[in-house]
A and B are shown apart, each in its own frame.
Chain A
Amino acid sequence: MVVLWVARTLDELKERQRRFDDTVESKYNEAKAKYPEIDNIIPIVLDPVRGTVLKKGSKPTPIEAPLEVINAIRLRSLKHAPTAGCTCVKCEVKYDAYGYVVGALHYWVPDEDTFVELPDGTKARVEGLKTKIAQGKVRILSDYEVKVE
């Protein structure tokens, strides 16, 4: 396992989360520079082999678009939803067998210690990121993943 660094502040983790959002935005802008029509595409793939999607309009019409353009639209849609009190520590983008982006898993960890309810009704304390960072238990593995012990 390659460890880039041990996190020392919560901001480092927030920054990693922001970097994912910035990266997908820049990929979209790169694709737009080559394919200005990108803003008018509805990324519903009708034919995965031809890359047939829909062009926006009063009557959406089928058009063909390159894979990288469709994926740029889809990746941008996978930015983090606002999630108060939590930080995403891992962004796992899922692709299908054709190479199209199909979705993502975002793994959220609370910033502060929390109490969770157990099945028997009792509560247990779970350490949040701030506590884990103070203990040196948070390692940044890559732009896409943080390991929390």
Chain B
Amino acid sequence: MARGDAFTDTHIFIAAGTNVDIVPAAGVEVMITVILGHGSALYLRGKDSAGNITGNLEVGTFGGATTPTSDLGQFGIRQTKLFITNSEFINLMASGSDFTCAVFGVQTK
């Protein structure tokens, strides 16, 4: 990999009730900059190589909302700066219905 290359997956299908790990390889570090989705509910969770996993992470407010939400899918574009590595990465879970999403980022190492 080369530092500065795109790290992109424009079609990730996650069936209802299932989840997907997005794991960089050893020696690779990625900054996820945006997660786009289509479906009723998508949740972001932190996971590590030992299998520890968080609950649904709060991802802030959106638009005129004042209450932080953990639902990435409910409100469209979510811009982030999530740094992930081989040992500390993310897990996306679809809840309620099948979900398609796209993840865009850049390799920082």
Contacts and interface: CB of A to CB of B under 8 A. Distances in A.
Given A119-B71, A119-B74, A45 B20 contact: no
Contacts of A148: 15
Interface string A88-131: 00000010111011111111111000101111000010111000
A141 interface: no
Nearest to B92: A105
A36 B12 CA distance: 37
Contacts of B1: 45, 48, 96, 98, 100, 102
Contact of B109 (A44, A119, A127): A44
Interface in B1-32: 1-2, 5, 7, 9, 12, 14-28, 30
B25 A74 contact: yes
A42 B28 CA distance: 10
A116 B96 contact: yes
Contacts of A117: 41, 95-96
A45 B25 contact: no
A104 B12 CA distance: 12
Contacts of A84: 51
> Which of A75, A76, A117 is packed against the most chain B CB atoms within 10 Å?
A117
Contacts of B100: none
Interface string B33-62: 000000011000001111101000000000
Contact of B28 (A102, A105, A128): A102
Given A77-B86, A94-B9, A105-B21, A83 B51 contact: yes
A7 interface: no
Contact of B17 (A43, A94, A101, A116): A116
Contacts of A44: 27, 109
Given A48-B2, A73-B27, A82-B50, A126 B12 contact: no
A126 B49 contact: no
B2 A118 contact: no
B16 A116 contact: yes
A81 interface: yes
B49 to A, nearest CB: 5
A43 B27 contact: yes
A109 B14 CA distance: 10
Interface in A48-76: 48, 53, 70, 73-76
